[in-house]
Structure 1
Amino acid sequence: MFSVVLIAALVTCVAGDALPGFLLPGKCAAPDLQDRFDLRRYSGRWYWTHIIENEYLPMETCVHSQYDYSYTDNGFKVRTAGFNSAKEYLRLEGQIYPTKEFPAAHMLLDFPTVFAAPYQVLETDYESYSCIYSCIDTNGFKSEFGFVFSRSPTSDGSAEAKCAAVFAKNGIDFSRFQRVSHNADCIYKA
């Protein structure tokens, strides 16, 4: 389905001489993934500290996710919430789960209002940071997203520093990442 959307976007852009913001020329990186990824340890609340701009994510500030591991589904039921630019509190619910074709650290993101996409855990210590990469390429263009998660909304910067190094090692430009604001007005009830 994403390929159809991507091709439609390319056709539209060629006619209008502009690419949508989520498309870049090139191929996706082939990053190293977390070795022996443990789904159960990954469960719990994650606060988003940095992202590559994502037109499909309506939240901009106070973004956080609750990952509830499901043994029967061998994956997570995920609730993500935060405020949009109009200061409205929004919530998305979906699933993230491994597939038979890839190792556990290479999962599939499946939310009703978002196209299915890869969810690759490049590195995590489960306790303080997680570095996530999602990219699909076709016909010489890529749709590339990245995320830095922390177990604390007031990260001391260790998640940023660790993930910046991980992304750089894997050929992913960390300068494209933007900080996600967390302040006293945040509500964390995803």
Structure 2
Amino acid sequence: MIPLVLTTIACITLAEAQIITWFGGPCPDVTTKENFQLLPYMGRWYEISKYPNSFQNGECGTAQYTLQDDNTVRVNNTQLKEGGVIDTVIGEVRDDPNSDVPAHLQVRFSSWQPWGKYWVLDTDYDSYTVVYSCSYYVINKVEFLWILGRERTVEEETKDKILQMLDNFKIDATKMVDTVQDEDKCDL
């Protein structure tokens, strides 16, 4: 029975993400943005860098966040796929009902999908945000990480500050890949 459970967990995690650490221990202890506020977070964010994953493998990634009347957030993720095909997926973000930490949010892109972690590690609301998710499954951990910006790039000083924060949290930034944000190509 245990091998079947472990195989099932492995298949699920492999289908959802590429940054999987086997037998590497639990998720790192991180802090999130103190006094996080949802309203100034709304608007368009450009994907700068991320951990590779199976659902975001295009270029020109953006996320548009819109606050709804029920205090949930509509998220519109758009990317440019091979051949110039625009790929859009609509999801929702909410406060984590099991946490009283404002920066502990949850996200999903289908009503059939379980809620995933969306933790805002840091943001200045005007130029950058860092979003992280880590789930530990006894023998492995699955991580997602994004650096987003209000513009298609972030200042080097800002990026250095983010990388230092990730290093302090023991989050491996070397696994991140930059997202192509060519202005001529990415006018979505």
TM, length-normalised to structure 2? 0.84
Q: Structure 1 pair 165/64, CA: closer, same or farther in 2 (3 Å)?
A: same
Deviation at 1:168, TM superposition (A): 1.1
Match of 2:77 among 69, 74, 80: 80
Aligned residue in 1 for 2:175? 176
Deviation at 1:154, TM superposition (A): 3.4
Is 1:109 the counterpart of 2:107? The answer is yes
Aligned residue in 2 for 1:10? 10
**Unaligned ranges ≥5, structure 1:** 14-19
Say which SS state the counterpart of residue 185 (structure 2) adopts: coil
Deviation at 1:164, TM superposition (A): 1.1
The residue correspondences of 1:56-95 to structure 2 (distance < 5 A) are 56-57=55-56, 59-70=57-68, 72-95=69-92
Aligned residue in 2 for 1:38? 37
The residue correspondences of 1:93-132 to structure 2 (distance < 5 A) are 93-102=90-99, 103-112=101-110, 116-132=115-131
- Conservation of the 8 A alpha-carbon contact between 2:65 and 2:73: yes
- Conservation of the 8 A alpha-carbon contact between 2:63 and 2:77: yes
TM, length-normalised to structure 1? 0.83
Say which SS state the counterpart of residue 84 (structure 2) adopts: coil
AA paired with 2:162?
Answer: C
AA paired with 1:94?
Answer: G
Is 1:135 the counterpart of 2:140? The answer is no
- Conservation of the 8 A alpha-carbon contact between 1:130 and 1:159: no
Deviation at 1:30, TM superposition (A): 2.1
Q: CA RMSD in A?
A: 2.5
State the distance in 2 between where 1:86 and 1:186 align. Answer: 13
Q: Structure 1 pair 86/124, CA: closer, same or farther in 2 (3 Å)?
A: same
Deviation at 1:162, TM superposition (A): 2.7
Q: Structure 1 pair 35/151, CA: closer, same or farther in 2 (3 Å)?
A: same
- Conservation of the 8 A alpha-carbon contact between 2:95 and 2:102: yes
AA paired with 1:185?
Answer: K
Identity of aligned residues (%): 24
Aligned residue in 1 for 2:147? 148
